[in-house]
Amino acid sequence: MPNNACWMIGSQVGASMTWRSVRTLCSLGAGLMLLACSGPRAGAEVPAPAAPRADAPVGTEAAPPSKPVAISANQSITSNLIIWLAQEAGLFASHGVNVDLQSINAMVAMKALVAGELQGILVGGAEVLGARASGAPLTIVAVLVPVYNQVMMVPPSVGAVADLRGKTVGIITYPSVNGVGTLAAMRSFGMEAGRDYRVVESGSAGVYQGLAAQLLAGNVDVALLPPDVARGVAPEGFHELFDQVALGTRGVSASLAFQDDFLQQQPATVQKIVDSLIDGVRYAREHRAETQEVLRKDFRLTDPTELDLVYDRLVNQVFAREPYPVAEDFQDTVDALARDAPEVRAVDLHRLIDRRFVDDAVQRGLTRY
């Protein structure tokens, strides 16, 4: 459970942001506009890379990468555990690939990926879709978390979903996993933003801790938060109204994406990375203590009860055994992003994803355990 110092920092972050700066962050959400100058004109669909034939071996490439493969995954989000576990447990090395894993904010990381400073990224599907719509040549090869790992935290005055009508709902930004998931959850109950409830964005600077700070400060009435962050606001009187995982809403919460050039030039390396992450899910199931040690070391969770709760949920409810990217799972993302960037509707979702790497791993039996 986060200590008081963490919440104080989160509160200071939230309090220091003017609404003008929040709107600025919103307008820059997920690199949609920032990335527009990095490729073809905004709204132009990127030509599909010349992918190998369906029957061509994924492991064929001219030469291995000459330096470590730089990949980013934000350490402040526990749903990103598997990639850090794969690094700590030596799974990348065991598959013969050297990964330089970096923890970077999603917006900054996406800019670095497009600039060529990173080759891959583990981030929400919204960020990748937004970048693709702006002309960035990126492709998703796996989705490790196909659900929204969030619970709705509300004050004592809210006792039923119907009580959310007329409330101010906090989100990080519209084009974030949190924002997309929140709109999807409310829509599943027949409520639409602007008509049935008001939305306030906390901005991406503080990620979920920043959103929790806004909830604690009373700037928003309710918010969807990851369970580990949600437990931090519970002592202040907030309680869980519903669990979005239990709603069964499909999403794209942790997608692995690569630059198209890297994907074309180093398919065997990409396959090794996908294999390592699939093995990571298995490793997490079979090595509870070691997995919790990574949560303790890299995600700074120290309370034994909290470690058990986070571990059990991630392993049993959140991580995908077969992490296929599925075009149909992006519909909520498209609807949310189209509010400010209608060009996302022009993106061919079937060309945004490449399923052959997960297919290859499944056919070799990596998911049979």
pLDDT at 114 over 70: yes
Average pLDDT over every residue of 119-126: 94
In a domain, 37, yes or no: no
My answer on whether 254 and 359 are in the same domain is yes
Q: Is the dihedral of CA 258, 263, 266, 269 positive or negative?
A: positive
In a domain, 35, yes or no: no
User: Nearest Cα to 277, choosing from 150, 139, 143, 118?
Assistant: 143
In a domain, 44, yes or no: no
- Contact between 322 and 368 under an 8 Å Cβ cutoff? The reply is no
Q: pLDDT band for 315, please (50, 70, 90 cuts).
A: very high
The last residue of one of the domains, among 247, 264, 286, is 247
pLDDT at 170 over 60: yes
pLDDT at 276 over 50: yes
pLDDT digits (tens, 9 = 90+) for 290-303: 999 999 999 999 99
In a domain, 31, yes or no: no
What domain range is 155 assigned to? 4-26+149-247
Cα–Cα–Cα angle for 105, 109, 111, nearest 5°?
130
My answer on whether 104 and 176 are in the same domain is no
My answer on whether 265 and 301 are in the same domain is yes
Mean pLDDT (the chain, rounded): 85
Average pLDDT over every residue of 264-289: 98
pLDDT digits (tens, 9 = 90+) for 132-149: 999 999 999 999 999 999
In a domain, 93, yes or no: yes
In a domain, 41, yes or no: no
Domain with 262 in it: what CATH number?
Answer: 3.40.190.10
- Contact between 157 and 11 under an 8 Å Cβ cutoff? The reply is no
pLDDT at 25 over 80: no
Q: Which residues contact residue 53 at a Cβ distance below 8 angstroms, ignoring those fewer than 6 apart?
A: none
**pLDDT at residue 205, rounded to an integer:** 67
My answer on whether 200 and 229 are in the same domain is yes
My answer on whether 136 and 186 are in the same domain is no
Residues of the chain above pLDDT 70, percent: 82
Hey, which of 23-32, 97-106, 159-168, 328-337 has the most confident mean pLDDT?
159-168
Pair of tokens at residue 359: 């297919």
pLDDT at 357 over 60: yes
My answer on whether 264 and 132 are in the same domain is yes
**pLDDT at residue 65, rounded to an integer:** 61
Residues of the chain above pLDDT 90, percent: 73
My answer on whether 224 and 254 are in the same domain is no
pLDDT at 21 over 50: no
**pLDDT at residue 175, rounded to an integer:** 84
- Tracing tokens 């065991």 back to the chain, one arrives at 94
**pLDDT at residue 181, rounded to an integer:** 94
pLDDT digits (tens, 9 = 90+) for 46-73: 334 334 434 344 544 545 566 899 999 9
Q: pLDDT band for 228, please (50, 70, 90 cuts).
A: very high
What is the number of structural domains in the chain? 2
The last residue of one of the domains, among 224, 247, 270, is 247
My answer on whether 255 and 353 are in the same domain is yes
My answer on whether 72 and 53 are in the same domain is yes
My answer on whether 78 and 164 are in the same domain is no
**pLDDT at residue 40, rounded to an integer:** 36
My answer on whether 266 and 348 are in the same domain is yes
| Distances 213 to 172, 207, 228, 230 between C-alpha atoms, Å | 11, 10, 14, 11
pLDDT at 131 over 60: yes
The 3-state secondary structure of the chain reads: CCCHHHHHHHHHHHHHCCHHHHHHHHHCHHHCCCCHHHCCCCCCCCCCCCCCCCCCCCCCCCCCCCCCEEEEECCCCHHHHHHHHHHHCCHHHHCCCCEEEECCCHHHHHHHHHCCCCCEEEECHHHHHHHHHCCCCEEEEEEEEEECCCEEEECCCCCCHHHHCCCEEEECCCCCHHHHHHHHHHHHCCCCECCCEEEEECCCCCHHHHHHHHHHCCCCCEEEECHHHHHHHHHHCCEEEEEHHHHCCEEEEEEEEEEHHHHHHCHHHHHHHHHHHHHHHHHHHHCHHHHHHHHHHHCCCCCHHHHHHHHHHHHHHHCCCCCCCCHHHHHHHHHHHCCCCHHHHHCCHHHHECCHHHHHHHHCCCCCC
Pair of tokens at residue 234: 């519970």
The last residue of one of the domains, among 189, 219, 247, is 247
pTM: 0.80
In a domain, 221, yes or no: yes
pLDDT at 34 over 50: no
My answer on whether 355 and 259 are in the same domain is yes
- Any long-range contacts for 181-184 (C-beta under 8 Å, 24+ apart)? 181/148, 181/150, 181/224, 181/244, 181/249, 181/251, 181/253, 181/332, 182/150, 182/223, 182/224, 183/332, 183/335, 183/336, 184/148, 184/249, 184/251, 184/332, 184/336
Average pLDDT over every residue of 336-354: 93
pLDDT at 193 over 90: yes
In a domain, 54, yes or no: yes
Q: pLDDT band for 76, please (50, 70, 90 cuts).
A: confident
